[in-house]
Amino acid sequence: MKEEKKTVSKAGVLRRISGPVVTAVGLEAHMYDLVKVGREELMGEVIKIKGEDVIIQVYEDTAGIRPGEPVVNTSLPLAVELGPGLMKSIYDGIQRPLSVLVDRMGNFIERGVSAPGLDRTARWDFKPLVKKGDRVSAGSIIGEVPETRSIVHRIMVPPNVKGGVVKEIREGKFTVEEVVCTLEDGTALTMMHKWPVRVPRPYQEKLNPDIPLLTGQRILDGLFPIAKGGTAAIPGPFGSGKTVTQQQLAKWSDAKIVVYIGCGERGNEMTEVLTEFPNLLDPTTGNPLMERTTLIANTSNMPVAAREASVYTGITIAEYFRDMGYDVSLMADSTSRWAEAMREISSRLEEMPGEEGYPAYLAARLSEFYERAGRVRTLNGQHGSVSVIGAVSPPGGDFSEPVTQNTLRIVKVFWALDAKLSQRRHFPAINWLNSYSLYLDILNDWYAANVSPEWNTLRAWMMEVLQKEAELQEIVQLVGSDALPEEQQITIEIARMIREIFLQQNAYDKVDTYCDMTKQYDMVKAIRKFSDLAYAAQAAGVLPQQVMAVKAKSELPQIKFIKDYRPELARIMDSMEKEFNALRAGIS
């Protein structure tokens, strides 16, 4: 790729400092230019220009800098480096590799320190996929690098390069800065390029989200699925399981690439992610999960400006792998902390506040972020997707607050975490009455073709039973379950089975942590079989207490924890049939 033109303008000087927001004068700048602030050259970004005042958000702590210190414009936007070396990396919000910073200065990052996002010394084995005389264009794949055992990194012509005829291309081991391909017009291509984080990467067209992102979590895949290229929100109060749910999605979703953004989360939660992920095995390849994962760690004690930038850094990396033809799953935990960073910066800019002090453009910023999700046909004709799943942390679990409400207007899937469920130790604590998925209709054909033609009927039946139970619980709380008609007593028992056998899932059990669609189908079918036998027995005169005492029913939950479950399930179902036959025979 042609060397970027670096024009450094005349230095300005600091006039005003307000936390992470500073004002410079005498500086020639454009919006979103990257600047170096003060004698320590703290990294910042231009966010507002008002007359001669250039207002900058600084990505580092500004304590100690003074008015009169210089401000230098790099005349470049905040951009991430894209190329081999992204996998297995752990970055901060502005793509500084934390492993490099730790080696350089220990556990506390000093100010004014920078490090390239990609290792300049590592040599990668480049294999060309085009030859001399071939014509390439923006987005064309010119070669491959085996980045990890799980991921083949496809080297592409950058989207902002016109392309042309290949004059020379080399095979061998190269660093990311060495030229591997030269075009006839003189354009030199390396294995890396930079891309501005606030600019969505281009593609040919957006495709229908008609393939589910399978997560191995029964309540999500079974009742409220998300499509590949879809958007979902997980709002919930403190302690309801947002982070664990997102970590489960990162571990087990069938996306090829995982980008996990810890945006403003507590340090102990990010520590858990950073220590656990390297030890997890990928269920599809058997290799460590980190070999297809990029982590962005921006904890709550880091500067708020870098927190605001971290989600853009993450989505840009995700789009890059999408352009290679991969399905990418992006976890943002949590967008509430991102919104709080926007609120703090907005207040320091003295902007007119909106609801609860959030900036008036909160909804627009959330939309810009979530709309970068999608399943697309890339510039090189591949199909790739970015699925965005954002956690929301409403204060006090109040879903009417602005971040939750604005998020719900944008996303298509709503997984509502419930504090009462978590207090009852029901996990995942997703409330099946408040949650929804707008992808159900478009995904029906996929489930019918790839799981079972009756899957959609079974899912609708489960939801109907759970809704009936919710209506009956009001009566039960007043007069007790024994006062209900016998048929309704059985309905409540079947709903309990759906909740405890199907919806509850143990994230820390080696077997139950992941459940494929075949097992989910078999579990629901077994519960439906019990339902049919129970209603038939009740109609024949069998008492509800006898139905609930069926021994096979109490054995059914154990199949969740058995890897090779089918022989045991067949035995339980055969035993169930015999017990119900004996009950009906006793009546006659």
Distance, in Å, from the CA atom of 289 to the CA atom of 274, rounded to the nearest integer, reads 12
pLDDT digits (tens, 9 = 90+) for 458-500: 999 999 999 999 999 888 887 877 788 899 999 999 999 999 9
The pLDDT of 299-319, averaged and rounded, is 86
Q: Identify the weakest region by mean pLDDT among 30-39, 317-326, 392-401, 518-527.
A: 392-401
Which segments within 323-453 are labelled E, that is strand? 327-333, 374-377, 383-392, 413-414, 436-437
pLDDT band at 229 (very low <50, low <70, confident <90, very high): very high
Which sign does the torsion angle of CA 146, 152, 153, 154 carry?
Answer: positive
Instruction: Indicate the residue among 169, 196, 223 that finishes a domain.
Output: 196
Q: Which domain holds residue 508?
A: 455-587
The pLDDT of 495-514, averaged and rounded, is 94
1 in any annotated domain: no
Question: In CATH, what number is assigned to the domain containing residue 48?
Answer: 2.40.30.20
Question: In CATH, what number is assigned to the domain containing residue 479?
Answer: 1.10.1140.10
- Strongest mean pLDDT among 21-30, 244-253, 257-266: 21-30
pTM: 0.91
Q: What is the pLDDT of residue 474?
A: 83
Q: What is the pLDDT of residue 4?
A: 45
pLDDT band at 5 (very low <50, low <70, confident <90, very high): very low
pLDDT digits (tens, 9 = 90+) for 317-375: 999 999 999 999 999 988 998 999 899 889 988 889 999 999 999 999 999 999 999 99
Same domain, 390 and 288: yes
57 in any annotated domain: yes
3-state secondary structure of 22: strand
Asked if residue 2 has pLDDT above 50, the reply is no
2 in any annotated domain: no
Q: Identify the weakest region by mean pLDDT among 92-106, 189-203, 503-517.
A: 92-106
Same domain, 415 and 276: yes
Q: ∠ CA 408-414-420 to the nearest 5 degrees?
A: 115
pLDDT digits (tens, 9 = 90+) for 523-567: 999 999 999 999 999 999 999 999 999 999 999 999 999 999 999
Q: What is the pLDDT of residue 113?
A: 80
What secondary structure letter does DSSP report for 561? G
The pLDDT of 508-527, averaged and rounded, is 95
Same domain, 346 and 399: yes
What secondary structure letter does DSSP report for 220? I
Same domain, 254 and 183: no
Q: What is the pLDDT of residue 6?
A: 45
The two structure tokens encoding residue 397: 């679990």
Q: How many CA atoms lie within 13 A of 177 on its CB side?
A: 9
Same domain, 213 and 186: no
The pLDDT of 564-587, averaged and rounded, is 93
Asked if residue 273 has pLDDT above 80, the reply is no
362 in any annotated domain: yes
Max distance between CA atoms of the chain, in angstroms, equals 98
214 in any annotated domain: yes
Looking at the DSSP bridge assignments, the partners of residue 375 are: 207, 385
Instruction: Indicate the residue among 148, 172, 196 that finishes a domain.
Output: 196
Cα–Cα distances in angstroms (integers) from residue 383 to residues 172, 444, 447, 489, in the given order: 28, 21, 20, 50
pLDDT band at 217 (very low <50, low <70, confident <90, very high): very high
Question: In CATH, what number is assigned to the domain containing residue 98?
Answer: 2.40.50.100
Asked if residue 105 has pLDDT above 90, the reply is no
The two structure tokens encoding residue 573: 């179902």
Q: What is the pLDDT of residue 588?
A: 60
Distance, in Å, from the CA atom of 59 to the CA atom of 47, rounded to the nearest integer, reads 12
Q: What does 66-123 look like in DSSP terms, one character per residue? A: -TT-EEEEEEEE-EEEESTT-TT-EE-TT--BHHHHHHHHTTSPPTT----SS-SS--
Q: Identify the weakest region by mean pLDDT among 49-63, 180-194, 278-292, 543-557.
A: 278-292
Mean of the per-residue pLDDT values for the chain? 91
Distance, in Å, from the CA atom of 522 to the CA atom of 501, rounded to the nearest integer, reads 12
Q: Cα 292 to chain center, whole Å?
A: 14
Same domain, 268 and 317: yes
Q: Identify the weakest region by mean pLDDT among 2-6, 93-97, 298-302.
A: 2-6
Asked if residue 10 has pLDDT above 70, the reply is no
81 in any annotated domain: no
The two structure tokens encoding residue 436: 């929804």
Percent of the chain at pLDDT exceeding 70: 97
3-state secondary structure of 340: helix
Q: Identify the weakest region by mean pLDDT among 94-108, 406-420, 515-529, 555-569.
A: 94-108
Same domain, 192 and 212: no
pLDDT digits (tens, 9 = 90+) for 43-72: 999 999 999 999 999 988 888 899 999 999
Same domain, 409 and 543: no
The pLDDT of 108-128, averaged and rounded, is 88
Same domain, 471 and 338: no
**Total domains in the fold of the chain:** 4
pLDDT band at 8 (very low <50, low <70, confident <90, very high): very low
Asked if residue 226 has pLDDT above 60, the reply is yes
Same domain, 395 and 520: no
The pLDDT of 185-199, averaged and rounded, is 95
Same domain, 252 and 322: yes
Q: Which residue, among 198, 184, 372, has the nearest Cα to 390 in the 3D structure?
A: 372
84 in any annotated domain: no
Same domain, 212 and 191: no
The two structure tokens encoding residue 539: 């109609």
Question: In CATH, what number is assigned to the domain containing residue 269?
Answer: 3.40.50.300
379 in any annotated domain: yes
